[in-house]
Structure 1
Amino acid sequence: MQLRNIVLLAAAASVEAAATLRFSCSQLVVERLDPLVNPGENPSPHLHQVVGGNAFNVSMDAKVHDLPTTATCTSCTPTEDFSNYWTAVLFFKAKNGTLHRVNTFGNELGFTGANGGQTVYYLTSGKATAFKPGFRMTVGDPSIRTAEELNRRYKYMDFTCLASSMTRGGQTTYFPRQPCAAGIMVSIRFPTCWDGVNVDSPDHQSHVAYPNGNACPSTHPVVIPQVFYETYWDTRPFNNKADWPADGSQPFVWSFGDQTGYGIHGDYVFGWKGDALQRALDANCNSDLFANKINCPTLAVQTLDQANKCVKPKTVTENLDGWLSQLPGGMPIN
């Protein structure tokens, strides 16, 4: 579906210019911090994998924590992007009940050299307004456990069981129920309409909305680029069905305790330097689909090796490796 969306956007460009930015963000840190939903809590309730600028911290108050001036590096290839992008972490639950963290790996469509992390997209089908300083949002809800509620409240978040790196199609809103030869790709897409006033809201979602058809609702009239993440989870070491639950159920669980997959969610804090993102959108910049190349003279880009070097020391000290008796933070599985 991801490549299909890009093709559709590219086709729309023949009528109205479109930006199709696609780039790699290597792993910055994996730890229990969430400055958006749980600001100031050290540690936060559940584990996250984070990419972007190294200013990510336990608290990121927009009024005092300016990412472009606070960060000293970014794990994303555009060097002016100090935003932070994060999701929950995937775990494998073995037949004996022990848990093992699943690593991310570089998108094999162009970013095999990335040290994990995720692929980030900014897509438009025409003129769009870049996010303002301090902008932040979330999408999804970790408490959701049914397909009905997920489909009613959110759009375009799914899992792809990869038979190969080229697999597209067959997406589900629940965890794949069979071994996936090339891993699991998780896609998270954010809304594309903004109220034009608030850079945040109490629930971190009400200031943005999905369009009605092709138009933004009157309450959220400003078109913003679609941000979405593709995260490749390396489930290949866990494909032996003999290690799966005896009842035949799928063995994966999110770090917040969700065994269904319906609680899928993502967090975003804008941190592009100056007008860099608006320049890229206005120039209708695009990216090669199968290479680490952004066709955008207005943006400076670093190599994957350089992006890999931007890491953040962990703030929370706890064991995340090997076989664990419970999820980090003792999150219950339900």
Structure 2
Amino acid sequence: MRWTPLTSLALLAPAEALLRFGCSQLVVERLDPLVNPGMNPSAHLHQIIGGNSFNTTMDPEKDMPASSTCTTCQFSEDFSNYWTAVLFFRARNGSFHRVPQRGNAGFEGSDGGMTVYYMADGLADYEQKSKVVAFKKGFRMLIGDAMARSKEEVNRFRQLTYTCLKTFGTRFPETQYLPKEPCAEGIMANIRFPTCWDGKNLDSPDHMSHMSYPASGTFESEGPCPATHPVRTPQLMYETIWDTRPFNDPNEWPEDGSQPFVWSMGDT
């Protein structure tokens, strides 16, 4: 799950330290300017939202917002780009079908896409409890490992979770694995990015090492940052609702009973 912020937003207002906004789908394309800069096509498929200047390199030395003329996000000032892998349904007959997205609660009119959050660390009252530093121009990060397949590898990314939507308002429980049964209203992927920065590097070779999750707890519960990454940044979170409703017929699921959904990089 990737993010390339290339604009400045007033992210955390003192009165109510939370932004939640919808972004419709910009494009579904085999591009990844972080992992495969300049490569067209890249190794797997992404859903991309945000500014229309998205391209194969996203050169951080250039003022990308000046190149954008519009954005798919609700706030017209946000020319950042956000993207995730794409989900597929693996049918019993061996065929694969791309799973569309649906608008989140409050954003039902969105054309797929995601809901983006910039969150405060006061979970109960949404008031900012600690000092956070705004993301700098050219800052980049990703979370997750396209090659991760084991439980141990997945545990490195403990805040990448799924919610089986029994109703459209379901938000719990969250699991680290895709649901093993049909979900009446779809599957929500919940992606919380690390919130502790090393204070020096706008990026790193793996696009992750300059960031860390809190040493204990979570950002929302005011968990402390590790000494190696002492600078707190806002909590960036995605909610993507994958519309799995057309694929809920158990007669179409694999005969061995395995869950049928697979990410575009081959991860089940």
TM-score (norm 1): 0.70
| Residues 1:218 and 1:17: Cα distance change in structure 2 (over 3 Å) | farther
- Greater RCO, 1 or 2 (C-alpha within 8 Å, sep 6+): 1
Match of 1:242 in 2: 251
For the 8 Å contact 1:155–1:189, the answer to whether it is kept is no
For residues 157 and 258 of structure 1, the distance between their equivalents in structure 2, rounded to whole angstroms, comes to 14
Alignment of 1:56-205 (within 5 A): 56-64=54-62, 66-107=63-104, 109-125=105-121, 126=128, 127-151=131-155, 153-205=156-208
> Unpaired runs of 5+ in structure 2?
1-13, 122-127, 217-222
SS at structure 2 position matched to 1:69:
helix
For the 8 Å contact 2:158–2:176, the answer to whether it is kept is no
Deviations 1:224-281 (A, max 9, x none): 001010000010000000011111111111011112xxxxxxxxxxxxxxxxxxxxxx
CA RMSD of aligned residues (A): 1.5
> Unpaired runs of 5+ in structure 1?
1-15, 260-334
For residues 198 and 236 of structure 1, the distance between their equivalents in structure 2, rounded to whole angstroms, comes to 42
Deviations 1:119-143 (A, max 9, x none): 0000122331110000000011111
* Alpha-carbon offset, residue 17 of structure 1: 6.9
Alignment of 1:277-316 (within 5 A): none
For residues 70 and 220 of structure 1, the distance between their equivalents in structure 2, rounded to whole angstroms, comes to 32
Deviations 1:32-91 (A, max 9, x none): 000011000000010000001111111111013x22111111111111111111000000
For residues 154 and 93 of structure 1, the distance between their equivalents in structure 2, rounded to whole angstroms, comes to 25
SS at structure 2 position matched to 1:228:
strand
Task: Tell me which amino acid in the other structure corresponds to 1:73.
Answer: C
Match of 1:52 in 2: 50
For the 8 Å contact 1:18–1:123, the answer to whether it is kept is no
SS at structure 1 position matched to 2:153:
helix
For the 8 Å contact 1:34–1:58, the answer to whether it is kept is yes
For residues 168 and 153 of structure 2, the distance between their equivalents in structure 1, rounded to whole angstroms, comes to 30
For residues 255 and 66 of structure 2, the distance between their equivalents in structure 1, rounded to whole angstroms, comes to 52
Q: Is 1:23 aligned to residue 27 of structure 2?
A: no
* Alpha-carbon offset, residue 212 of structure 1: 1.7
SS at structure 2 position matched to 1:242:
helix
For residues 231 and 152 of structure 2, the distance between their equivalents in structure 1, rounded to whole angstroms, comes to 29
For residues 209 and 257 of structure 1, the distance between their equivalents in structure 2, rounded to whole angstroms, comes to 26
* Alpha-carbon offset, residue 97 of structure 1: 0.3
Where is the helix percentage greater, Structure 1 or Structure 2?
A: 1
* Alpha-carbon offset, residue 18 of structure 1: 6.0
| Residues 1:35 and 1:187: Cα distance change in structure 2 (over 3 Å) | same
Q: Which stretch has the larger CA shift, 182-191 or 18-27? A: 18-27
TM-score (norm 2): 0.87
Aligned pair count reads 242
Task: Tell me which amino acid in the other structure corresponds to 1:88.
Answer: A
